[in-house]
Amino acid sequence: MGLLRTILINTVAEGARVRVSPSERVPVIAVTGFLGAGKTSLLNHLLRAPGARIGVVVNDFGALNVDAALVSGQIDEAAGISGGCLCCLPDAGGLDDALEKLSHPRLRLDAIVVEASGAADPPALARLIRFSGVERVRPGGVVEVIDAVEHFRTVDAWPEPPLRYAAATLVVIGKVDLLPPGERATTLSRITQRVHARNPHVEVVVAEAGRIDPALVFDVAQRDEPPDELPLAALMRDEPHGGHEHARAATVVLDAPVAPGALLDLLETPPRGCYRLKGRVRIRGPRGERGYLVNVVGRMIHVTPLPDPPPTGELVAIGLRLDAVAADRALRTVAAAPADRPDAAGLRRLDRYRRLSA
């Protein structure tokens, strides 16, 4: 009997706090990888990163594999699941129950992270999240964690690259420090080539002890301590966060409506090195202005209507190897595109992505 556990974690930053509106869907990020690949190290690092209120779903085979000191007192619920591996179950009821609970507006979560068991199939898990019956969530990407030492003896041991690479929007290579120094460069190059042979566009990041920039995974808030801080938030702030490569970002503030055609051109062809692209926009339609929340993770585009157009919108591009100058130019091109009248063709393209995201 496996256990699906939902955990509520509150992390706190040192400046202005961003909060998900109850009307917005909460992104669900799957963290996958073979047994012992380092998923829990990555998850613990993300949970220690200040600035977001994160819900966690841990799918394992019995023992809770998140550091006891980190989650002490924060376990919200444990539900029994037959089989132990979410993507092998006949239905997604257990996962949907957890997502339904964690996505409730009263929890005000910024993201939900699903840590899959080591036996999970990433494409199957991605489908479970994509076609979840929970209305308040949306896919937020699949993070595949690779053990650089054991990878070619466990996961990638056949002539064709594993299909699991195809589901990933971010690949994190860990345990590189355990490789013999003379083999590191060759092993990293070989893993990266195999990943890109199956998924040419996926971002590949090398991490030490699971340390990656959380901006690659979810939106982190900036600086403010809310009155509902959980007891271990101070402990998290004391944890050192260095040792990983930081993402670059480019931002544009949108004081006016944007042309949907120009917006879709950007979403479909992000700036060079852009892994994530997000923002709120106003679009002029035949019956007035509309508001949309847009998210790009890897090659995945998600468009959600907002209940009201934002008075001021924004677009943000993020990536480890982001060409900041080109990104700034691309974002400003969208901001400057004429939008004084409805763009019928652009609205049809936008509506197509809205329907695909529903």
Cα separation, 127 vs 139, in Å, equals 9
User: What are the structural domains of the chain?
Assistant: 2-238 (3.40.50.300), 248-357 (3.30.1220.10)
Question: Are the beta carbons of 151 and 206 closer than 8 angstroms?
Answer: no
Reduced to 3 states (helix: H, G, I; strand: E, B; else coil), residue 124 is helix
* Confidence at 312, pLDDT banded by 50, 70, 90: very high
- Report the pLDDT value the prediction gives residue 58, as an integer from 0 to 100: 73
In this predicted structure, the answer to whether residue 65 has a pLDDT above a threshold of 70 is no
Q: What mean pLDDT is reported for the chain?
A: 78
Residues 6+ apart with CB under 8 A from 106: none
Percent of the chain with pLDDT over 90: 43
Instruction: Note the residue count of the chain.
Output: 358
129 CB-near residues (< 8 Å, 6+ apart): 28, 30, 95, 114, 137, 139
pLDDT given at position 62: 42
Q: Tens digits of per-residue pLDDT, 248-282?
A: 889 999 999 999 999 999 999 999 989 889 899 99
Residue 146 is predicted with a pLDDT of: 96
β-strand pairing of 111-115 with 53-60: parallel
Greater pLDDT, 292 or 51: 292
**How do residues 5-44 score in pLDDT, each as one tens digit?**
555 554 433 333 334 454 578 999 999 998 778 887 888 7
pLDDT at 240 over 60: no
Residue of 64 and 158 predicted with greater confidence: 158
HSE at residue 351, side-chain half, CA atoms within 13 A, is 8
Q: Which of these ranges, 67-81, 147-161, 175-189, 289-303, has the smallest mean pLDDT?
A: 67-81
Helix pair 324-336, 260-268: axis angle to 10 deg: 160
Q: What is the pLDDT of residues 205-232, one digit of tens each?
A: 998 877 888 888 876 443 333 333 333 3
Average pLDDT over residues 222-244: 38
Tokens 């974690």 label which residue? 9
Q: Averaged over 191-211, what is the pLDDT?
A: 91
Q: Strands of the chain (E only): list them.
A: 2-10, 26-33, 53-60, 75-81, 111-115, 137-147, 170-174, 203-206, 248-254, 276-285, 288-297, 300-306, 313-319
With a cut of 50, say whether residue 97 has pLDDT above it. yes
Cβ–Cβ under 8 Å, residues 29 and 111: yes
Residue 245 confidence (pLDDT): 63
- Segment (H or E) for 157: none
